């Protein structure tokens, strides 16, 4: 039996900008994408620690080292700049997965892995 399990998680990232006019996605700097084990285009669940709002979208890789987490498209109405979020991806497997997790500070720098 395949079980859906947490694969990757960026915990307490700070949303730095929203762009309602962009067609969709969440832009995450390349360094955070790599450290968390996310893939470009991968489906993610984004949950606001601040408001509890959540949505699903896909990963758009941004320039490394910028600290910019940008919510694009209609989701920018749900989660806004200044909110803390958890970005999660899941995978199906028939055995337990050890997820890759990173924790960010308010500048989206990795403070724990």
Active site residues: 25, 58
Nearest alpha-carbon partner for 60 in 51, 73, 47, 49: 73
Q: Over the chain, what HEC string results?
A: CCEEEEEEEEEEEECCEEECCCCCCEEEEHHHHHHHCCCCCCEEEEEECCCCCEEEEEEEEECCCCCCCEEEHHHHHCCCCCCEEEEEEEEEECCCCCCEEEEECCCCCEEEC
């Amino acid at each position: 039996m395949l079980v859906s399990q947490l694969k990757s998680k960026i915990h307490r990232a700070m949303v730095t900008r929203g762009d309602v006019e962009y067609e969709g996605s969440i832009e995450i700097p390349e360094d955070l994408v790599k450290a968390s084990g996310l893939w470009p285009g991968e489906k993610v669940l984004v949950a606001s620690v601040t408001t509890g709002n959540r949505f699903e979208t896909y990963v758009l890789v941004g320039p490394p080292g910028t600290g910019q987490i940008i919510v694009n498209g209609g989701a920018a109405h749900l989660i806004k700049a200044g909110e803390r979020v958890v970005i999660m991806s899941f995978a199906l497997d028939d055995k337990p997965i050890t997820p890759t997790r990173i924790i960010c500070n308010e500048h989206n720098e990795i403070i724990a892995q």
